[in-house]
Amino acid sequence: MNAQLVNEISIFVLAVFLGFEVISKVPTILHTPLMSGSNAIHGVILVGAMVILTEASGPLEITVGFVAVVLATINMVGGYVVTDRMLEMFKSRNPKGGARS
Amino acid sequence: MHLASWIVLLYLLAAVLFIVGLHQLSSPKHARSGNLVAALGAVIAVLATIFVLHHQLLNIVLMVVAIVIAAPIGAVAARAVKMTAMPQMVATFNGVGGGAAALVAVVEFLRVPTGSTISLVVSISVVFAVVIGAVSFAGSTIAFTKLQEMMRGTPITYPGQQPVNALVAAAIVAFGVLVVVSGIGVLGLWLLLLLALVLGVAFVLPIGGADMPVVISLLNAFTGLAVAGDGFVVGNPVLIVGGTLVGASGTFLTKMMSDAMGRSLGNLLFGAFGKIQVGPEAGPAGAKSVRAGSAEDIGTLLAYSQRVIIVPGYGLAVAQAQHVARELADVLEKRGVTVDYAIHPVAGRMPGHMNVLLAEANVPYEQLKDMEEINDAFKSTDVALVVGANDVVNPAARNSPGSPIYGMPILNADEAKNIVFMKRSMRPGFAGIDNELLYDPKTIMLFGDAKDSLTKLVAAVKAA
């Protein structure tokens, strides 16, 4: 086992515990936005898709890599935008936020 | 992949922003900024990645083209989607993420020169990411078609379903091990991908439409894990952190969501198996009669009530009736009637969905009451006005152990002195089960589109 792998496994294990701890006692009304927000966070797969597309050679690898970048971008961009739209609604009933209409 | 230390530090910054963002997303006050913080983390991660890309001009051009095509698609879809269709949208974004995660692992595997071996950890991670990503993609697609009502929402079951699914899962494990140990090669991986797609479909088919939000949440956690697997495949720490965070928090969130429905996750996912024969409740369904009322009668009833509780459901949302509902509440309050909204945790299509829709209609926050808060008040309520809701007030959840929704906490609308049901037809609710409350002598039906009916009620109350 090389040093990089040991590092990666450490990061992974710590992130598991962090993931469980970081959200706690979420009110029901936030379940959907939270799901949507974490859905956007895994859009970071775009980073992986970018790397593999630029490393790809041959039509098959390039095509698959291209599709991966397209899908990952939709996940990332769409994910954050749709979450923001949901949460925008919550803000509109906040009196000091200057309720619209 | 060897990364320069400053890039690793930028990835660390991105990871910290993900963690802070996720934490803020779980509190109502900071949720919106939390999402933006996480988005900033994503931007930093992408920008840092530009400096680790291989300098192959053609591929870089293609990459830019792909992003330029896809980014507006995602943004426009997310902007244009109706609030009622939000759950499908989230399912879609999750599915494409899972698909991307599977494909990243596929390309990395294709790149291995034939004859050479890759490290055990990498090959295990490839298999893991391909399988989990593909299950998430296929499962999300089915969840989408069920929510979009392109497919019936009721559980789809057939004899031998459970053994067949178990067989597919076993085949996946067997092929996975083969691919890892014997280097069976690319063909084995494609086969594995195919089997995982089949499993994703087979896994979601027997789950009822009303339980889809929990399924999407679970598949969201799956995609996170697949992304983390890819992190090991390409040796990228930000993928490992981002993916694992979603995998762990998503699992936790899935449990919270099924708890809110009063169900165990196991019952929810596999509940349809083995009790296929429950079917419609035994009894002479045709013999039961319902009482239908006119808008005028019901308007008068409402106008001379002390206390009215509105129980909104998905039907209110599809009819875009939230604004008229607000109008009715206003007219009633002017006459001195106390009006509250009883919000079931899973009213609408997802937890919190109804709050969003009513907030959109500027319904004051104080009038939205949680189930625990209002359930005892139904006893002293003159009229429970059920607008387009069904399963969340179905007493079968309390009384009939055979029912698919048995055990789900419900709103005690049946305890009110009068119950007014506004429905388009006698069609059962999303869970596909009959509601005995419709036949209760205290119940008056008002058939028609929720928006039209509410408009008529507003006029009737004004005239009363």
Q: Is the pLDDT of residue B351 over 80?
A: no
Q: Is the pLDDT of residue B110 over 70?
A: yes
Band of pLDDT at residue B429, cut at 50, 70 and 90: low
pLDDT, position A101: 37
Band of pLDDT at residue B321, cut at 50, 70 and 90: confident
- Residue among A5, A32, A69 minimizing CB distance to B351: A32
Q: Is the pLDDT of residue B25 over 60?
A: yes
Q: Is the pLDDT of residue A9 over 50?
A: yes
Q: Give me Rg for the CA atoms of chain A.
A: 19
Contact B245, B231 (CB under 8 A): no
Q: How far apart are CA B132 and CA B222, in angstroms?
A: 6
Interchain contact B103–A (C-beta under 8 A) = yes
B158 or B99, higher pLDDT: B99
Task: Give the DSSP H or E segment for B374.
Answer: helix B371-374
Q: Is the pLDDT of residue A98 over 60?
A: no
* Beta strand B307-312 pairing with B418-423: unpaired
pLDDT, position B222: 97
Interchain contact B87–A (C-beta under 8 A) = yes
Residues of A in contact with B56 (CB under 8 A): 54-55, 57
Average pLDDT over residues B172-182: 87
Q: How far apart are CA B221 and CA B210, in angstroms?
A: 19
CA nearest A20 in B: which residue?
A: B249
B183 or A30, higher pLDDT: A30
Q: Is the pLDDT of residue B456 over 70?
A: yes
B145 or B284, higher pLDDT: B145
Among candidate residues B253, B225, B93, B140, the one with its CA nearest the CA of residue A34: B253
Q: pLDDT for B117-156, tens place per residue? A: 678 888 899 999 999 999 999 999 999 998 888 887 778 8
pLDDT, position A91: 56
Average pLDDT over residues B4-33: 93
Cβ within 8 Å, pair A48-B59: no
Average pLDDT over residues B395-410: 79
Q: Is the pLDDT of residue A93 over 70?
A: no
Half-sphere exposure in the Cβ direction for B192 (13 Å, CA): 29
Band of pLDDT at residue B16, cut at 50, 70 and 90: very high
Among candidate residues B81, B213, B55, B62, the one with its CA nearest the CA of residue B146: B213
Among candidate residues B42, B343, B104, B450, the one with its CA nearest the CA of residue A66: B104
The chain-wide mean pLDDT, for chain B, equals 86
Band of pLDDT at residue B272, cut at 50, 70 and 90: low
Average pLDDT over residues B419-434: 75
pLDDT, position B1: 59
- Residue among B14, B220, B244 minimizing CB distance to A15: B244
pLDDT, position B422: 87
Q: pLDDT for A16-48, tens place per residue? A: 999 999 887 787 778 888 999 999 999 999 999
The chain-wide mean pLDDT, for chain A, equals 86
Q: pLDDT for B286-304, tens place per residue? A: 446 778 888 888 888 898 8
Cβ within 8 Å, pair B243-A86: no
Q: Is the pLDDT of residue A97 over 50?
A: no
A13 or B28, higher pLDDT: A13
Q: How far apart are CA A75 and CA A44, in angstroms?
A: 9
pLDDT, position B431: 63
Least confident of B8-22, B55-69, B344-358: B344-358
Q: pLDDT for B203-238, tens place per residue? A: 999 887 778 888 999 999 999 999 999 999 999 999
Q: pLDDT for B41-54, tens place per residue? A: 999 999 999 999 98
Residues of B in contact with A52 (CB under 8 A): 104, 107-108, 111, 234
- Residue among B21, B42, B231 minimizing CB distance to A43: B42
Q: Is the pLDDT of residue B253 over 60?
A: yes
CB within 8 Å of B155: residues ≥ 6 apart: B205, B206, B207, B208, B272, B404, B432
Distinct helix (H) and strand (E) counts, chain A: 4, 0
Residues of A in contact with B257 (CB under 8 A): 31
Q: Is the pLDDT of residue B192 over 90?
A: yes
Which residue in B211, B230, B340, B391 is the catalytic one? B391
**Scanning the structure block, which residue is given the tokens 């609030």?**
B83
B4 or B104, higher pLDDT: B104
Q: How far apart are CA B371 and CA B345, in angstroms?
A: 7
B230 catalytic residue (yes or no):
no
DSSP string, A51-84: HHHHH--SHHHHHHHHHHHHHHHHHHHHHHHHHH
Domain segments of chain A as ranges: 28-89
% of chain B with per-residue pLDDT over 70: 93
Q: How far apart are CA B132 and CA A84, in angstroms?
A: 27
- Residue among B56, B63, B78 minimizing CB distance to A50: B63
Cβ within 8 Å, pair A78-B78: yes
User: Model's pTM, two decimal places?
Assistant: 0.80
Question: Chain A neighbours among B 268-327 (CB < 8 Å)?
Answer: none
